[in-house]
Each structure stands twice: as C-alpha cells, then as structure tokens.
Amino acid sequence: MKYEKFEKISLLTHPSLKEKWVQDRLSDDPSILGLGDVIVRDKERVQSKAGRLDLLLQEVDSNRRYEVEIQLGKTDESHIIRTLEYWDIEQKRYPQYDHVAVIVAEEITSRFLNVISLFNGAIPLIAIQMNAVQHGDVVSLLFTTVLSEVKRGLVDEDEGVHAPTDRLYWESRGTKSTVAMADELLEIIKSIRPNMELKYNKFYIGLAESGQPNNFVVLRPLKNAIRVEPRLEKSEIVEQKISEAGLDVLDYDNKWGRYRIRLEKGDIKKHEAFLKELMVAASGGQLD
C-alpha cells in the first residue's frame, strides 16, 4: 500500500478555485457531502429579495430536501442568517417536503458552532466542515459533519399527546388478522425484553415496558399487512441485511429515524430469526 501525503489548502485564498468550483463539484456528485442518496434539484436558486440558494438537494427515496449554503473560509453571521432565511423561504413555499438547512464551510469555529447549536432542535440544521487537499496537480474535497440534525423527541413517545385507543379500534382500521400479527411480533420482542406489552394509540401500536413507553419499534396494522418501524440509524449495512433477508422495505423515515417494513401473512414466521435481530438492534443492541 503506497502512502502519499496531501497538503491542505485554503479555497478562500486560492487564486482560481472559488465557491463556484465547489458548487460544480457538489453538483456533479452530491453524495460526497455525506447526506445519503440525494440528487440536485436546483442550484443558484433565486430567492425573492434574498439572493440565491447555492444548492437544493432532495433524497431520492423520500420527500426530504436540503437547502445547502457554501462558505469559503470561516463561518460568519451573514452566512448563518442567509442559510436560515433560505431554509425558511423554501419550507414555507413547499410545505409538503421536509426541509433541512445545511451549512458547509471551510472552518466552523467553536463560537459559531455554539450559536448554530442554539438553533438546532428548533430548526433542522446540519453543519459540515469542508477541507480541500492537494497532491501535485490533484485537488480533492473532504467533508465532515460536525453538527448533525437533532432528532426531535418523538411525538410517538409522548403518550400524553395521543389519547389511547384499544384493540377494537385497530381491528377496525386494519383487520383482526393483521392486529394478530402485532401479537406475533410482540412474542419475538418478549423473547429479548420479557416485560414488554402492546400499547394501543391513535396513530400506531407502541410498546410499554413495565408500564413505561419504550417505542424502539412501532406497529401499524393495515388491511392486508402490518407495517413494522424499528428505530435504527440509516446505514448501508442495515439496508444490505434487510435486502438479503428479502423483506419489503417501504422507505426510511429520516425525521424519526425509522425503517418502514411491510410484512404480509406468513412473513413473520418465515423471517422470525432476522426480525429478532432487528428488534435487538432497535432496542440498543448490535445487528449480527
């Protein structure tokens, strides 16, 4: 294995590589930002009375959009304000999408990281540090997420918000047979967490452990199937294992950090061993 040292360079002071060059590289391959499987919906997007948004990205398999602002050099007040302003304009203009503000800068100082952190939680916000490195006449860009979007406290888990329902309610929304599938899944869950029980709520069937909500998996019986939503970090390893198991993955819910998997009659028995692995991982363990 050959080792070659790359030299870090400043794009802010570089004679020819400017913000437009960075924007073009991200347009060519937006995956290098580390935001997942995204496509470019627009660049230099005109904002009414507010300038131009550098890049608008969207996830391929969901309705999540990223409003990306690029800053050479250090973050500053105007850059933060502009990023939040563009995010606000887009989410008001297109409320049918989930919007996330993204700041990309060569240097995100501790001072402004603290300021950004104040917004995060109230505003979905990601900060990414960009490093340019050079070896000979080759220049590359490296991106490191220094502030991730805060996962909001799940409304699913705030039991005071949703009036509880009962089994009959879900049998009418789904069917007796699909609610019975929730019982089958509970037996798998109880094999690893014996004190678990189903907790019927208006929008989902959750879990309670010794009477306390613990919704590492939520269930939604349908007419001909049941939707199982384990809370797991999105990763290629998890997706590969789910795919190899032959499960029907609908999508990944970035907002709540859950995979959405559709199970039909017979699937639970067929995939019992792997479903148990998923439950273990969702409850805090490791996926084998």
Q: Give the separation between CA 63 and CA 82, rounded to whole angstroms.
A: 23
At residue 114, does pLDDT exceed 50? yes
Average pLDDT rounded to a whole number, residues 203-226: 91
Is the CA virtual torsion 51, 52, 53, 54 positive or negative? negative
Reported as a single tens digit per residue, the pLDDT across 67-76 is 999 999 988 8
At residue 96, does pLDDT exceed 90? no
> How many residues appear in the chain?
288
| Single pTM value for the model | 0.58
> Binning pLDDT at 50, 70 and 90, where does residue 154 land?
very low
**Do the beta carbons of residue 222 and residue 204 sit within 8 Å?**
no
Could you give the 3-state DSSP secondary structure of residue 54?
strand
At residue 209, does pLDDT exceed 70? yes
Q: What is the pLDDT of residue 288?
A: 63
Among 192, 149, 147, 184, which residue's Cα sits nearest to residue 286?
A: 192
- Structural domains of the chain, with CATH: 7-147 (3.40.1350.10), 155-282 (3.90.1150.200)
Q: What is the pLDDT of residue 44?
A: 85
Average pLDDT rounded to a whole number, residues 123-129: 89
